[in-house]
Structure 1
């Protein structure tokens, strides 16, 4: 014997509308909650993806005073995917969130962004012998806008100007210009908690590298990187003059007590060495 089905009670039109409205409100609430969670998801200030790429691809040279980069390794599928993911994470940070960070977090973010985009620029045109080889393809590589950051399309030159606004001259020892003559690309990401120590180490390591900065005791001449000429205003604002800034690092630049005394007294000539634009490629 078949069980008789219960008669279906008709649902009034008003009730269906009310249920629909409640469901819509619930869905909107869920979406709002998810959006809020995503909006408040903290940016990874450890920069761990970029850090892992650097540790895997940066090779120390000259007693860790310089480095070379394994671009062929960075160009591999997995590494390139990781780099693109990291650049996407940088690009996703809105200016409103960035403005709420601590100064050290902002500066570390911008330095890492500059260096990672410089690496991307090389990889996009690799193999090349010099970053200047890119000029024939896209024009001035520093002025070309090829990435988005903090809600705007930017070039490396524009990003450098943002960094310069922090009035921290040691950033010029941290920014990677994809050349053998530039300060070393550090084999770790810059992070807010250690930024002061990292920048100071970059300055000392660069000035201690005799291939790019040295002091001739016989002629009492400091032969230094043209970085000190290009950014003379930044170093002058920090110390009064380029000579005075170099005097702060007499123990790193000078080979002995006589040279250090001359540097400290600012009793020396200042000359700029040629810049090596060859790509620092560790093939």
Structure 2
């Protein structure tokens, strides 16, 4: 009877520690999403709770196997479906908000955001699972087991975070302030034609006096594949408008000759540095990514 009680106590300690570490993993990655998710308090609660559930599933897997309760492990398959539902929920929520934003995020950006939220629940599950495994196999005293489990969980979390870290526009291109010029009803930015919609004197005056623009120049020619993608340009425009607001007008255009991309707008908040920073930190859309080395090898193979 006593031995059974000790075993239950050990299992409980492993499960609780793994759940705490796994939930922390979700909280640790949640703060990166402030640019992508609009409702701070409610959004945080939703995703911390789903992270807690993911951590609980990862935490109980090893004790369930050790007690030969194989039915309990099948809940992991249900977890995968639940996390897919999280992605679906995020996609539907952000699509519903499209009409309320200054400009559209775009389907490509929304898809990337939804996948990110799904993946980070797996972070919680894997971190809790590794914590649980470590505490089970390491023959130490109680505090030694806890320290080993927490340490292993944090290391795995950092590795997962580093592996999943995506690039931003600032990693593949230079983002600089651009010069605005209005000729009659036509808008030019650094010599690139942008629009002919400035048909009134008030519109032209507004853009000349209050307009702001940046030009994105790819560091290498093959990065044009990313920047020329409409979804990528729409995402960059969205981040600029989210950071500064919109008084009137917003455009994105590309130069077909050298691959430069222009973002121009009349913001509510005039802060050129903030605009440049917002565009630089815009994530690269997954659907627009192309690995230059892989593409090169594929083409050589065909030859």
- Greater RCO, 1 or 2 (C-alpha within 8 Å, sep 6+): 1
TM range, smaller chain: under 0.3
> What TM-score do you get using the length of structure 1 for normalisation?
0.26
Structure with a larger share of its residues in helix? 2
Pair member with larger Rg: 1
